[in-house]
Chain A
């Protein structure tokens, strides 16, 4: 019977098109780098369904057989504590991979083996990859691989994903394990082993009714897992008498650790205390006095490099797509009526352009964030700043996405992926649009220059603080209102991994994959928004600015904004374009207030089509953007993106006829708190789903309206 089953399974496996191999290991053991090394460049980065945890997959071929490798989220145990661990456990139970590659940090064998032992209970063939083996050799430690292999009855391969060591040997081991299908030994200390076998014997006959692998069930019963025991009692598979064979789970874990350390004593020879270097670096980076200043400097550098280095390239890409590609695409479509040319140029090419112009920013940002994550500093940052964030019920890591939000909300929302709990991820996401991004600054600069000359810095600073303050209040209120957000599901337990220098090639590859997924997912929402906004703004076609649907609609709803002090349709008309990009508020105001003397129709007839000239101009601008990026690095202590644009006196004069200082303040607050730009929205949908996006938009509409109304009404009391 057994032999027959065994053979049948083997045939099944070989017949199937691809063999599922799950990579499981503790966090920070280099799983991704190992898969990357195994697969060359086939790594695919996506999300696990319904959650914001990154899913990485790759296909490889060994001896004409396709293997699909899945990188399961890092786990310390399979008794899920975090979302990542739940995904990993559910995958092992529901998807039943054909093989587990247990990636182990050779330098922390004792800790890693705890998971290995838990994995053995799933009755899935296994290969152990002793990763970071090169580091271990450097640390003058030896592992008796043969003994470990015999003990667990699995293939054990020394590897280094980063240095590409042992990759072929690992492939061979995977192939061998799949074909031999030997299951790993399940090891316990003597007294528990006896009980484990007894439980297993009792359940053996009902094996097919258990719903889980036999050994997995037996182990859960052994450690008195009430959920499992109740399930079995309900199914009438066991009765209460089985409890005599169980132990409480702390005894179970203690026994397992004792057993593991006895194994480690047999197979490990340490010649030196490892991780000296990490301790030394920590004594500086986590120092009582130096720790926080160094952290702030580090944040400043990341912020500065991300936004300043990318800005010239963002400007260039936007110019290249809109003014070069757009111009000539429209030129080549001369046979189309003007209205379609306008749609193609402004909505479609403009939309594609705005996605692509985010490339340099997102790319540089992902690169830095991967460096922080992979080097091990990210968890240190959380350690340093945790106390501040814990006062509002969040973990220290949340600080980083929030700070990035002041530069641009889009990468900030991506950065929430690195947070440890679903709760932190969601709350941080809801807070980020309230962080005043650098695209909102030009609006403040224009309005403060027009209305608050003498104390404009104070007003701008105040706006930044207001956004942050409202975000904090929001998080506190949400936790009070939604109980599931309040229960701290993952109390702050953080592993501080050893410092490692991440290999540049790997970082670049990872960044490339993440940028690609941004392009794929952001485009549809953005195109939709662009076409919508274009239709409202440009139709009826060739009508004067004051007669477009946008103007008509704004006139109709302007009264709604009377309590907030800006019921002029010209002001209301900027709100819709502000969803395309925040700085569009200024462009729209300019267009409406200064008439059309220098825009569309006239400019169009004056436009010259000289392809050669324009091409050399593009090349010139491309070169310039490198020079600009270079100089921005030299002027290290000024943040370019915050520099004032040239003043436009005539626009400011017209603004003064439209707003009073108080209504201007109320308008700036409204822009600060209003619905974020479409790129942020599309990323938000990507990360948190439609439901939370709708929630966030409704909430921001309410907040922006009520706060600016409040400010205007209170202000009016003081002025009278």
Chain B
């Protein structure tokens, strides 16, 4: 599934990043790397963007970016 579908307060693992190179690179530099963990915190009151936590750092991403981030539930 993609990051848009992530549920509040759940933890996920990044499987793949399907975005253009420049954007993918920036996400990776922020620690959103294949195999890395993402903690979904909340959606903004208007539904977009979302608030996630990566390596203890709070990041906000637009849904248009999230749809390129493939994740799976972290068990």
A and B assemble together: yes
Question: What is A's interface to B at a CB cutoff of 8 Å?
Answer: 76-77, 79, 81, 107-108, 110-111, 114, 249-250, 253-254, 257, 274-275, 278, 282, 286-289, 291-292, 379, 382-388, 390, 491-498
Question: Does B1 touch A at the CB level, under 8 Å?
Answer: no
A492 and B65 in contact, given A274-B56, A275-B56, A379-B60 (Cβ under 8 angstroms):
yes
Residues of A within 8 A of B44 (CB): 286, 291, 383-384, 386-387
Q: How many Å lie between the Cα of A250 and that of B44 in the bound state?
A: 29
- B33 & A387 in contact (Cβ 8 Å cutoff): no
Asked if B58 and A289 make an inter-chain contact with CB atoms under 8 angstroms apart, the answer reads no
Q: Are B34 and A110 in contact (CB under 8 A)?
A: no
Complex Cα spacing A287 to B42, Å: 9
Chain B minimum-CB-distance residue to A494: B60
Q: How far is the CB of A33 from chain B (nearest CB, A)?
A: 20
Q: In the complex the two chains form, is A286's CB within 8 Å of B29's CB?
A: no
CB under 8 Å from chain A, chain B span 54-72: 55-62, 64-65
Q: Cβ of A79: which chain B residues have Cβ within 8 Å of it?
A: 25, 29
**Could you pull out 16 A-B pairs where Cβ atoms are within 8 angstroms?**
A81-B22, A110-B56, A111-B56, A114-B31, A250-B24, A250-B33, A275-B56, A286-B51, A289-B45, A382-B60, A383-B49, A491-B62, A493-B61, A493-B65, A494-B49, A497-B58
> A257-B31, A491-B64 in contact; A111/B55 too (CB < 8 A)?
yes
State how many angstroms separate the Cβ of A258 from the closest Cβ of chain B. Answer: 9
Give every chain B residue within 8 A of A493 (Cβ-Cβ).
Answer: 26-27, 30, 59-62, 65
User: By the criterion CB–CB under 8 Å, are B26 and A76 in contact?
Assistant: yes
Q: Which chain B residue lies CB-closest to A264? A: B55
Query: How many B residues face the partner with a CB closer than 8 A?
Result: 36
Q: Which A residue sits closest to B52, measured CB to CB?
A: A496
Q: Do A495 and B62 contact each other (CB < 8 Å), given the known contacts A79-B29, A111-B31, A387-B48?
A: no
The binding surface of chain B is classed by DSSP as mixed
Q: A111-B57, A253-B33, A291-B45 are in contact. List 20 more A-B contacts (CB 8 A).
A: A76-B29, A77-B29, A107-B56, A110-B55, A111-B31, A249-B28, A250-B17, A250-B24, A250-B25, A250-B34, A254-B33, A278-B58, A289-B45, A384-B44, A390-B48, A494-B49, A495-B30, A496-B51, A496-B59, A497-B58
CA distance A474 to B62 in the complex (A): 24
Alpha-carbon gap, A720 to B21, bound state (A)? 62
Q: What is the bound-complex CA distance between A471 and B30, given in angstroms?
A: 34
Bound complex: CA of A498 vs CA of B57, how far in Å?
Answer: 9
- Residues of B within 8 Å of A254, CB to CB, are 28, 33-35
In the complex, what residues of A have CB within 8 A of residue B45's CB? 286-289, 291-292, 384
Contacts of A77 in B (CB 8 A): 26, 29
A108 / chain B contacts, CB cutoff of 8 Å: 55-57
Report, nearest first, the 6 A-B pairs whose CB atoms are least far apart: A496-B58, A387-B46, A492-B62, A494-B60, A253-B28, A77-B29
Q: A253-B33, A286-B44, A383-B49 are in contact. Are A492 and B60 (CB under 8 A)?
A: yes
By a CB distance below 8 angstroms, the chain B residues around A387 are 44, 46-49
Q: Distance (Å) between the CB of A358 and the closest chain B CB?
A: 34
B12 to chain A, nearest CB (A): 17
Enumerate chain A residues within 8 angstroms of B23, measured Cβ to Cβ: 491
The one of B21, B27, B47, B61 in contact with A492, judged by C-beta atoms closer than 8 angstroms, is: B61
Q: Which of A257, A287, A496 contacts B33 (CB 8 A)?
A: A257
Q: Chain B residues near A388: list those with CB within 8 A.
A: 46
Residues of chain B lying within 8 A (CB to CB) of residue A384: 44-46
Chain A nearest Cβ from B1, distance in angstroms: 21
Name the interface residues of B1-35: CB closer than 8 Å to any CB of A: 17, 21-31, 33-35
A77-B29 Cα distance, complex, nearest whole Å: 7
Name the residue of chain A whose CB is nearest to the CB of B20. A491
CB neighbours of A250 from chain B (8 A): 17, 24-25, 28, 33-34
For B35, the chain A residues whose CB sits under 8 A away are 254
Q: Which partner residue on chain B sits nearest A251 by CB separation? A: B34
**Chain A contacts for B36, CB-based, 8 A:** 257
Q: List the A side residues contacting B30 at CB < 8 Å.
A: 76, 111, 493, 495
- CB <8 Å contact, B33 and A386: no
**Residues of chain A within 8 A of B24, CB atoms compared:** 250
Which residues of chain A come closer than 8 Å to B46, judged between CB atoms? 292, 384-388
Return chain B residues, CB-CB under 8 Å to A274.
56
Q: How far is the CA of A111 from the CA of B59 in the complex (A)?
A: 12
